[in-house]
């Protein structure tokens, strides 16, 4: 049923909630899920009555990133390269669209926020984490590259911390994420913290909030000119290559990849 409705969208007055709804796959991003998510972003761009967007995940998970069953599917090499470049390009566009919304975007994180899921967290204006939250940029361990999430990670935690997170590829908990600024607050009661944040935001004037977001964006682009295309090219090369084939196969088999020490 969740794959029939991969994104649950509800609304309570000015507050829109988007719940990634593939819990059996830890809310990994299928093409169907992101198509619906992109449609929601397009709707919200011109919705003057919506003031807050909350992004969360079903089943105690936030988002495991791309659905590797789709990334690793057998395909003609040239077609695979083109498809993965296009997929990654759309990922970068999606993060920018989240950031560009006139609404205040809150990521409410339970469970894993990995890879592209980490991008959702960093593209949001505010990120709150439950005690169960875990964060990771594991792409290099899968033979892939964290192409489109890198600029957003750097914006949130700085280049040095982002480099360590992406190159080491280890999992960090909510406390560590709060300490480095990856999330704004690691809280014992996520629902209460989310309700308080929403209440605070609704005290602000809608136009003033949107203008303030515009001014923050005017301080400088998160993604440097030319980076999105370079990132898509790098992701495509890796995703269509032998390292990704081995990395994804080893991940599915729950074994170490050939390049890792035994």
The DSSP output letter for 212 is: H
The number of domains in the chain is 1
**pTM for this entry:** 0.96
In contact, 187 and 193? CB cutoff 8 Å:
yes
Residues 6 or more apart whose CB falls under 8 angstroms from that of 58 comprise: 2, 8, 19, 20, 21, 22, 23, 27
Is the pLDDT at 1 greater than 70? The verdict is no
Is the pLDDT at 72 greater than 80? The verdict is no
Rounded Cα gap, residues 28 and 61, in angstroms: 10
Residue 116 Cα distances to 83, 122, 139, 178, 244, angstroms: 17, 10, 9, 19, 16
**Has residue 204 been placed in a domain?**
no
| Domain carrying residue 140 | 7-190
**Has residue 215 been placed in a domain?**
no
> Mean pLDDT score of the chain, rounded to an integer?
96
Residues 105-135 have pLDDT tens digits of 999 999 999 999 999 999 999 999 999 999 9
pLDDT of residue 40: 98
Strands 7-12 and 15-20: antiparallel
| Average pLDDT score over residue span 68-97 | 88
Query: Quick one: CA torsion of 190, 18, 97, 153, rounded to 10 degrees?
Result: 30
pLDDT of residue 3: 73
Here the tokens at position 238 are: 């890796």
Judged by DSSP in three states, 125 sits in coil
Strands 172-173 and 134-136: antiparallel
**Has residue 242 been placed in a domain?**
no
Here the tokens at position 12 are: 């309570």
Residues 23-45 have pLDDT tens digits of 999 999 999 999 999 999 999 99
Rounded Cα gap, residues 118 and 135, in angstroms: 7
Is the pLDDT at 142 greater than 60? The verdict is yes
Distance between alpha carbon 128 and the CA centroid of its chain, in Å?
A: 14
Is the pLDDT at 152 greater than 70? The verdict is yes
Judged by DSSP in three states, 32 sits in helix
Q: How confident is the model at residue 2 (pLDDT cuts 50, 70, 90)?
A: low
In contact, 106 and 14? CB cutoff 8 Å:
no
**Has residue 117 been placed in a domain?**
yes
**Has residue 212 been placed in a domain?**
no
**Has residue 77 been placed in a domain?**
yes
Rounded Cα gap, residues 159 and 5, in angstroms: 37
Q: What percent of the chain has pLDDT over 90?
A: 93
**Has residue 256 been placed in a domain?**
no
CATH of the domain at 140: 3.90.226.10
Rounded Cα gap, residues 101 and 4, in angstroms: 27
């Amino acid at each position: 049923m969740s794959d029939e409705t991969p994104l649950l969208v509800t609304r309570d007055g000015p507050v829109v909630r988007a719940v990634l709804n593939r819990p059996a796959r830890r809310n990994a991003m299928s093409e169907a899920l992101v198509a619906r998510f992109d449609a929601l972003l397009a709707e919200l761009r011109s919705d003057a009555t919506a003031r807050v967007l909350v992004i969360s995940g079903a089943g105690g998970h936030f988002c495991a990133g791309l659905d590797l069953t789709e990334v690793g599917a057998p395909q003609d090499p040239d077609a695979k390269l083109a498809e993965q470049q296009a997929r990654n390009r759309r990922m970068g566009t999606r993060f920018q669209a989240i950031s560009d919304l006139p609404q205040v975007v809150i990521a409410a994180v339970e469970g894993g926020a990995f890879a592209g899921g980490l991008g959702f967290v960093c593209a949001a204006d505010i990120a709150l984490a439950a005690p169960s939250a875990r964060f990771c940029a594991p792409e290099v361990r899968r033979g892939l590259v964290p192409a489109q999430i890198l600029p957003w990670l750097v914006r949130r935690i700085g280049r040095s911390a982002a480099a360590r997170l992406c190159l080491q590829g280890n999992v960090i908990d909510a406390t560590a994420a709060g300490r480095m600024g990856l999330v704004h607050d690691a809280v014992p009661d996520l629902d209460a913290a989310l309700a308080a944040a929403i209440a605070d935001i609704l005290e602000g004037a809608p136009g003033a909030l949107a203008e303030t977001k515009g001014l923050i964006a005017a301080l400088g682009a998160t993604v440097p000119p030319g980076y999105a295309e370079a990132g898509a090219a790098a992701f495509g090369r890796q995703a269509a290559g032998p390292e990704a084939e081995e990395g994804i196969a080893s991940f599915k088999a729950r074994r170490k990849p050939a390049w890792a020490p035994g």
